[in-house]
């Protein structure tokens, strides 16, 4: 895992990441705060990252900004359960979880709704 998590408030996050990384299609699972900082997360064993650490930090910041922007529409259309973006080499998904964002990347051939439902069940959200 990238960083440790202090306090009881986040004690389930490492367990959630470990469970998610057992899924064969999930490449990365981690929790990001609303400032774009990776709280904890890791790649599945054997996965080579597509971006270096500084590029991943930019991605996490962009994700935090997008999630915050989407919250402006919660009043009218309801809160976001998850958001996904399919790219040629990866599918990126975000899930608001309390005061953090679960960031997941998967293999590009994943069925988005199927894996999203599985992630939601594992996280209990």
Question: What confidence tier does 33 reach under pLDDT thresholds 50, 70, 90?
Answer: very high
Tokens of 102: 């679960």
Tokens of 72: 């402006």
- Name the DSSP letter for residue 34: T
Three-state DSSP state, 56 = helix
Q: 102 pLDDT exceeds 80?
A: yes
| pLDDT tens readout for residues 67-93 | 888 887 778 888 888 999 999 999 999
Q: Count each helix (H run) and each strand (E run) in the chain, helices first.
A: 4, 5
**Nearest Cα to 100, choosing from 19, 16, 22?**
16
Q: 32 pLDDT exceeds 50?
A: yes
Question: What confidence tier does 9 reach under pLDDT thresholds 50, 70, 90?
Answer: low
Q: 7 pLDDT exceeds 60?
A: no
pTM: 0.87
Average pLDDT over residues 52-61: 90
Average pLDDT over residues 53-65: 91
- Best CATH choice for the domain 8-123 from the list 3.90.930.60, 3.40.50.720, 3.20.20.70, 3.30.450.30: 3.30.450.30
């Amino acid at each position: 895992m990238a960083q440790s998590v202090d306090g009881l408030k986040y004690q389930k996050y490492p367990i959630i990441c470990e469970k998610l990384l057992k899924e064969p299609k999930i490449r990365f699972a981690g929790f990001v705060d609303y400032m774009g900082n990776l709280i904890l997360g890791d790649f599945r064993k054997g996965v080579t990252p597509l971006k270096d650490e500084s590029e991943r930090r930019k991605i996490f910041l962009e994700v935090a900004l997008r999630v915050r922007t989407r919250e402006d529409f919660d009043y009218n259309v309801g809160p976001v359960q998850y958001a996904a973006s399919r790219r040629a080499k990866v599918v990126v998904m975000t899930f608001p979880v309390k005061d953090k964002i679960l960031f997941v990347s998967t293999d590009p051939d994943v069925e988005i709704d199927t894996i999203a439902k599985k992630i939601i069940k594992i996280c209990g959200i």
